[in-house]
RNA sequence: UCCCGUGUAGCUCAGCCGGUAGAGCAGGUGGCUGUUAACCACCGGGUCGGGGGUUCGAGUCCCUCCGCGGGAGCCA
């Protein structure tokens, strides 16, 4: 008989009375006083396991079924029936339970049917997807990723795969991982004694990308609406709940668009993804609300229906100064917003996502468009309650001479950026975009306390196991 | 990188003012008329993160290293 998913079996009112086959892994086994066993089987297709009722009349009842422990893989065949017990609507009255794989040494099987700490599960990243928590996270992550592609596709965006390896330490967005095939024990040297990178694989220094933005701008200024969605690397020694050394980033870029267009896109984008997760993964969000963070579900529901607040950076400063709050870091025009400031604005003062716009030029990147006041740039951050900055974006400087001045001011080597400046020489247009850390989005949706649980195999300083 | 905390059974933890270790869960055995993190009884299970020091004696106090967590900086 053709096996079906647990999800299909649990959903199938039409299947009652029919023979079904499910295959998966044992979550728990309980033996009843009546001489029968209840086996909860999960196959990852949904949050709930299905209950298989195994009678003692099964030929392998005593020598196999009663020895099943958490983690064993089984195939169960039987009749789908309305459950006689409470707690589930349907269950399978088993004709047979076939053990596919045993758990050796069950006492030491790392995933036990009990509440584990997230810290412990992080140490067994290869087994944690078997828990209901990481099953839920994996399904939510997939749903969010699919929704992101769907949102852009429906709006006519083109997904552009920007390079992982780059030879410009361009973006200046942080420390980069070096990519090299040189023999570290026998480095080639130039006459002056420095390392001779002309002997390296690419003939020059190369690194893992910290952002696809500069590359994707080229495609924006030809295809109008584009985005990246791929892995990104930062070699910073950040030990926080919000940083990874390897993460996935989404960077849309739109032509003929200013900062307001950018902010509108960011808001529509977030709401689309949240709605998709709400409708497609209601079971997992409910689980998140029960077991991870109480407001996981209600927060998303409230968010999709209310407009994001938009305020100017200057206004944000005034709000902070008049808050009456004692901040650890003093607030003044020209300083960047600290975590405590962001949290006050979005959590206390406004109580919902807020888009802060037009930051002082001195604290923002060289490619952001200079405003007419000559002091601020057309940059925006989307701040969300509970996590802080979730999106950072800007209108790009499209005027060649202004951009060159900004680059000189940032002491960048203009020679290395000629290809980037070409966009401003040949048919330049105003354009805008933003960057979103995918794992931060997952953290926000699920209510997770640590970004290392939002990606299957986290990479961070001193952490690259599995 | 800085600050704070933490490391005891397979897992989660308790262990007072220093006197060589306990519980729950998990596992094993037996019992129990459909269970929902089942229940009851019994059993096995520990170089108390590593090293050094103080002391008659260290899981406990001190130093140090390592791991982990939280916060900060930086950012997505």
Instruction: Give the H or E element holding residue A381.
Output: strand A376-384
The nucleotide closest to A236 (CA, C1' atoms): B74
CA A417 / C1′ B23 distance in Å: 66
CA A208 / C1′ B18 distance in Å: 54
Token couple for A133: 């928590």
pLDDT of residue A173: 59
A372 CB-contact burial (10 Å; exposed 0-12 / middle 13-18 / buried 19+): exposed
Contact between A36 and A91 under an 8 Å Cβ cutoff? The reply is no
Residues 6+ apart with CB under 8 A from A319: A311, A345, A349
- Residue carrying structure tokens 């951009």: A403
CA A172 / C1′ B38 distance in Å: 59
Whole-Å CA distances, A266 to A180, A435, A461:
37, 9, 31
Q: Which nucleotides of B are covered by protein (CB under 7 A)?
A: 1-2, 10-13, 24-28, 31-39, 44, 67-76
Residues 6+ apart with CB under 8 A from A221: A255, A423, A427, A428, A429, A431
Contact between A70 and A113 under an 8 Å Cβ cutoff? The reply is yes
The nucleotide closest to A340 (CA, C1' atoms): B72
DSSP state of A345: I
Residues 6+ apart with CB under 8 A from A370: A361, A377, A378, A397, A402, A406
Q: Residues 37-76, chain A: which have Cβ under 7 A from strand B?
A: 38, 51, 53, 67, 69-70
- Torsion angle of the four alpha carbons A385, A388, A390, A395, in this order, in degrees rounded to the nearest 10: 110
Q: What is the mean pLDDT of each run of 10 residues along chain A (466 residues)?
A: 90 88 93 85 92 90 89 94 84 93 86 85 90 93 97 98 83 77 91 92 92 94 97 90 93 97 96 96 91 86 90 93 82 87 87 92 93 94 83 95 92 88 96 95 91 93 85
Question: How far is Cα A26 from Cα A33, in angstroms, rounded to an integer?
Answer: 20
Read off the pTM: 0.93
Token couple for A160: 């552009």
For Cα atoms A199, A202, A206, give the angle at the middle one, nearest 5 degrees.
105
The reply to whether A86 Cβ lies less than 7 angstroms from strand B is: yes
CA A124 / C1′ B64 distance in Å: 29
The reply to whether A93 Cβ lies less than 7 angstroms from strand B is: yes
For Cα atoms A267, A272, A278, give the angle at the middle one, nearest 5 degrees.
125
For A309, the 3-state DSSP assignment is strand
pLDDT of residue A281: 95
pLDDT of residue A435: 94
């Amino acid at each position: 008989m053709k096996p079906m998913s647990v999800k299909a079996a649990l959903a199938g009112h039409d299947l009652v009375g029919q023979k079904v086959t499910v295959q998966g892994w044992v979550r728990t086994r309980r033996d009843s006083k009546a001489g029968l066993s209840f086996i909860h089987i999960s196959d990852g297709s949904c949050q709930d396991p299905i209950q298989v009722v195994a009678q003692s009349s099964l030929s392998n009842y005593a020598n196999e079924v009663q020895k099943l422990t958490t983690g064993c893989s089984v195939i169960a065949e039987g009749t789908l029936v309305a459950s006689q017990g409470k707690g589930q609507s349907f269950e399978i009255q088993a004709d047979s339970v076939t053990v596919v794989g045993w758990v050796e040494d069950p006492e030491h099987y790392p995933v036990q049917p009990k509440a584990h700490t997230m810290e412990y599960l992080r140490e067994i990243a290869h087994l944690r997807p078997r828990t209901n928590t990481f099953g839920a996270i994996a399904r939510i992550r997939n749903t969010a990723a699919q929704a992101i592609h769907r949102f852009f596709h429906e709006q006519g965006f083109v997904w552009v795969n920007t390079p992982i390896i780059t030879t410009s330490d361009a973006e200046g967005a942080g420390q980069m991982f070096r990519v090299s095939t040189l023999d570290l024990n026998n480095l080639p040297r130039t006459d002056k004694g420095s390392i001779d990178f002309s002997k390296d694989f690419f003939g020059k220094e190369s690194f893992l990308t910290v952002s696809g933005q500069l590359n994707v701008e080229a495609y924006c200024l030809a295809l109008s609406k584009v985005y990246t969605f791929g892995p990104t690397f930062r070699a910073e020694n950040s030990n926080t709940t919000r940083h990874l050394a390897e993460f996935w980033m989404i960077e849309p870029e739109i032509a003929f668009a200013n900062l307001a267009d950018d902010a509108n896109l960011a808001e529509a984008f977030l709401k689309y993804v949240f709605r998709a997760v709400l409708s497609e993964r209601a079971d997992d969000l409910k689980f998140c609300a029960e077991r991870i963070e109480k407001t996981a579900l209600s927060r998303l529901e409230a968010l999709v229906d209310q407009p994001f607040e938009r305020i100017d950076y200057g206004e944000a400063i005034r709000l902070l100064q008049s808050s009456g709050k004692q901040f650890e870091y003093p607030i003044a025009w020209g300083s960047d917003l600290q975590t405590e400031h962001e949290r006050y604005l979005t959590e206390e003062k406004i109580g919902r996502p807020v888009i802060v716009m037009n930051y002082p030029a001195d604290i923002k990147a060289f490619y952001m468009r200079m405003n007419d006041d000559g002091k601020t740039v057309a940059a925006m951050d989307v701040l969300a309650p509970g996590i802080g900055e979730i999106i950072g974006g800007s209108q790009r400087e499209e005027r060649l001479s202004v951009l060159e001045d900004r680059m000189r001011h940032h002491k960048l080597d203009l020679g290395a950026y000629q290809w980037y400046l070409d966009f401003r020489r040949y048919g330049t247009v105003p354009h805008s975009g933003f960057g979103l850390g995918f794992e931060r989005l997952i953290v926000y949706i699920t209510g997770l306390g640590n970004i290392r649980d939002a990606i299957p195999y986290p990479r961070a300083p001193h952490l690259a196991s599995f």
